Structure 1
């Protein structure tokens, strides 16, 4: 069996789904799976027109020419016309829930048009039970998506914690409305001495966050660093006092899974798949409950030694739950099932 794997979002500076594609390809190959990674390096994956060109024209052509048995559309989008039996990973249903502020053509393509394409897939894979249920509610009530937790890069398991004496909270992810960074600006105003370091690509929402920080006069304690290199991200995971994940909607919650694997104390929003990933192991706060966030952060900072000890105890279980070996083995079973039909 040969697997054609869409890795277009891993082109250039990979974040989120691009990292998923890259790491899945490596994990599958480590298990002896014949993977043909499909990508067009000269095509900017973040331009909408280029993304559609890839999904609907270049990807199905590349898949047909690859000699593969099945195609895994790992980016969350798939061709409307299939040239191979196709497995699609539906990472989340955000385009059906929380993207009303985006352009109509993007909502149409990533929402309604892709929903139509999904119904033609040979298998649906979701990153969490939450996302699988969302798929049934929003796309197809008769569907039975396969739930395969993504893996976390094993380098997070090897991070040696050395928290800074002056505490800062780490926030990882694209700076966009659903990630809800603004609520943490209000937390900064209530906890003098705390700093927040945000890493991840900015969107226009970042201007709203900066404006709120300036209004509350905490802009000197908020750093929006944008994309950072791997070694710099690892350094932040080692030095931060905690990770904060205030997102209103996640299909999986990589930032929380990475924190758990790194032994970094975390506080998460009580929302979407984050509750599932947390497994009652970290404090949960409703996304927009500023007072709740303030109380949770203060409690953690008041007992940093205890928080570190508890986070370390969670590490082994998280590394097993979110191991790429497990994810790749499960995905291989899905490929074989589709190939035998």
Structure 2
């Protein structure tokens, strides 16, 4: 599920930008064959060919700005064009320093080349951007550490789609459990091939919690099933929980909404999040959350979930057993209230306000 933040940002932001009252003429640079998301059809668009990405960012983007006589370029890329006189605005989910390290350790040649480009261009991007919008206070701290002055940084939280909501009643919950084949409910964890997911801690915590509380629902792992799944199965077997662990693959649409909505608890021991979308979506779905206290997650969770150090297996186990088998009414009420702080309408308004400020 990780890595979809920018796509989610564009899909949710463009329709909201179309609704913002502003004197600015907003133009979307889009491929000829690309369709804008529903609700964004009223925005002006300019056809582009953004491939290869590195050439587009450094050559195509400035050319598009000149030909379209654009007064400002806004991007979510950490490789802004170096040679352009057009003012630049950057939206940053996270500092790419972690991805740079990962490219060197685990990536192939393509990833190492991409990492080298980012290492060279990201510091320049930060210097060139008139305004750097960040997705969290944690990302703001990373940007400040890069030497960007605070007066050029704007905190603009992303939103959570209103499609993420709690189950209406026990009947809806039971129907979800029946469709998924888990009549007694389940504990949910998202995993991918990104080590930041810290999934081993989730497995270990579940094993400890189950040993302590045998009524704990089964563990469901959502996310792409890849080479790491075999490693996870072997690890689950070594912990004695293989028969209680189920990999259900990548989810989207209604299936994604339901998997959140039906969970007895959501566990996320992530090591790094620029903005914790999955935690925010779980909260909005009324699912009790236990997650790590690293980077942006305390901002996202507030008082609506349990925070644990990312390496504290026993801390996660205790919280998981309590959330999944105890009285969850408090958490199911607090989660949606906290998630309501993050609205795409606010993201769009604050983004346009930053653009207007930069162009004033």
Superposition TM-score, scaled by structure 2 size: 0.78
Q: Distance in 2 between matches of 1:154 and 1:19?
A: 13
How far did 1:159 drift?
A: 5.4
Cα 1:239/1:147, change in 2 over 3 Å? same
Given that residues 288 and 332 in structure 2 are in contact (C-alpha distance below 8 angstroms), is that contact kept between their aligned partners in structure 1?
Answer: yes
**Structure 1: tracts of 5 or more residues without a match:** 1-12, 44-48
**Structure 2: tracts of 5 or more residues without a match:** 35-50, 178-182
Kindly indicate whether residue 153 of structure 2 is the aligned counterpart of residue 130 of structure 1.
no
Q: Aligned match of 2:26 in 23, 32, 35?
A: 35
Cα 1:15/1:221, change in 2 over 3 Å? farther
Q: Distance in 2 between matches of 1:221 and 1:67?
A: 59
Q: Which residue of 2 aligns with 1:22?
A: 11
Kindly indicate whether residue 73 of structure 2 is the aligned counterpart of residue 71 of structure 1.
yes
Q: Aligned match of 1:58 in 45, 57, 60?
A: 60
Cα 1:117/1:332, change in 2 over 3 Å? same
How far did 1:205 drift?
A: 4.7
Given that residues 288 and 328 in structure 2 are in contact (C-alpha distance below 8 angstroms), is that contact kept between their aligned partners in structure 1?
Answer: yes
Equivalent residues, number:
319
The Cα offsets for residues 235-291 of structure 1, whole Å up to 9 and x where unpaired, read as: 112211122221011111111111222221111101111011111321111111111
Given that residues 64 and 83 in structure 1 are in contact (C-alpha distance below 8 angstroms), is that contact kept between their aligned partners in structure 2?
Answer: no
Q: How does 1:110-259 map to 2 (within 5 A)?
A: 110-137=118-145, 139-144=146-151, 145-157=153-165, 160=168, 162-163=172-173, 164=177, 165-172=183-190, 174-190=192-208, 191=210, 194-201=217-224, 205-259=228-282
Given that residues 176 and 205 in structure 1 are in contact (C-alpha distance below 8 angstroms), is that contact kept between their aligned partners in structure 2?
Answer: no
Superposition TM-score, scaled by structure 1 size: 0.82
Q: SS of the counterpart of 1:125?
A: strand
Q: Distance in 1 between matches of 2:309 and 2:96?
A: 18
The Cα offsets for residues 13-42 of structure 1, whole Å up to 9 and x where unpaired, read as: 982221012211111112246432224478
Q: Following superposition, which runs of at least 4 residues in structure 1 exceed 4 angstroms of deviation?
A: 201-207
Cα 1:15/1:224, change in 2 over 3 Å? farther
The higher radius of gyration belongs to 2
Q: Which residue of 2 aligns with 1:332?
A: 352
RMSD: 2.8
